[in-house]
Amino acid sequence: MKLNIPVGDFGAYLFDCDGTIVDSMPLHFIAWTRAFAEEGCPFPEDKFYAWGGVPSRMIVARLNEEHGLKMDPETVAKRKEGYYYASLNELQPIHMVIEVIDAAYGKIPFAVVSGGTQESVNNSLTQLGLGDKFPVRVCAEDYRHHKPDPECFLKAAALLGVEPSRCLVFEDTDIGVEAAKAAGMQWVRVPAPWERKTN
C-alpha cells in the first residue's frame, strides 16, 4: 500500500507524528487505558481515535467534564506518558510514510507538526532513528490553539520560510486534515491502523 502524493510544486512537507510517521496510536491507547483505569474512568477506543491530535491535558479535562470526575490533567497525562515511554521498544514506523520521507529527504525541507509534547515526539523519533531528519518540530508547547486551528501548521511553514500554499501536510486524523485545510495547505491522509491491515 502506497500513499497517493498529489502533483504540485511543494516547498515543504509537514508531518504529524503519532499515527503518521510512527505507528504509536495503539501504544498510546494502551497507555491511556492503564492511566485512566487507575482513576476509574472509561476511555473507549473509538473515542480515543476520534480525539486523535487533541493534547493530553485536554483529553483528561474533557473526560472530567463527561464523567463528573476531578482527575488532575497534569498528573494523569504524565502517568500516561510514562506508560507510553515504557513501551517504546515495541514502536514501529508507518512504512508507507517512511517511503515518502526516504525519497524526499534532502530534496525538500521537512517539519513535524504534532499535538504531542516535544518530549514524546523526540522520544518516538529517536527510537526509530529518525530524529536527524526533522530539525524543525512544532509540538504542543509551541502554540496556543490546537488542531483543527491552523496555528501549528502556519508556524511550521514560517519556520521553514515556505508559503503555506506550497506546503503538503501528512495527517492521520480528521482534526489534522481540517487544520491543514484551514492553513491553505494541501494534504495527504494516512490510513488508520485497521485500514492499513486490510489493504
Domain coordinates of the chain in residue numbers? 12-23+92-197, 25-89
What's residue 198's pLDDT? Answer: 55
Q: Which residue has the cell 492521520?
A: 172
Distance CA 35, CA 41 (A): 9
What's residue 194's pLDDT? Answer: 84
CATH superfamily of 12-23+92-197: HAD superfamily/HAD-like (3.40.50.1000)
Pairing between β-strand 186-189 and β-strand 167-171 as defined by DSSP bridges: parallel
What's residue 193's pLDDT? Answer: 86
CB atoms within 10 A of CB 81: 19
pTM above 0.85, yes or no: yes
Residue 16 is among the residues annotated as catalytic for this protein: yes
Amino acid making up residue 66: E
Domain 12-23+92-197 identical in fold to domain 25-89: no
Catalytic residue from among 9, 16, 18, 132: 16
| H/E segment holding residue 138 | strand 137-138
Query: Is residue 138 pLDDT above 60, yes or no?
Result: yes
What's residue 164's pLDDT? Answer: 98
Domain 25-89 -> CATH class: mainly alpha
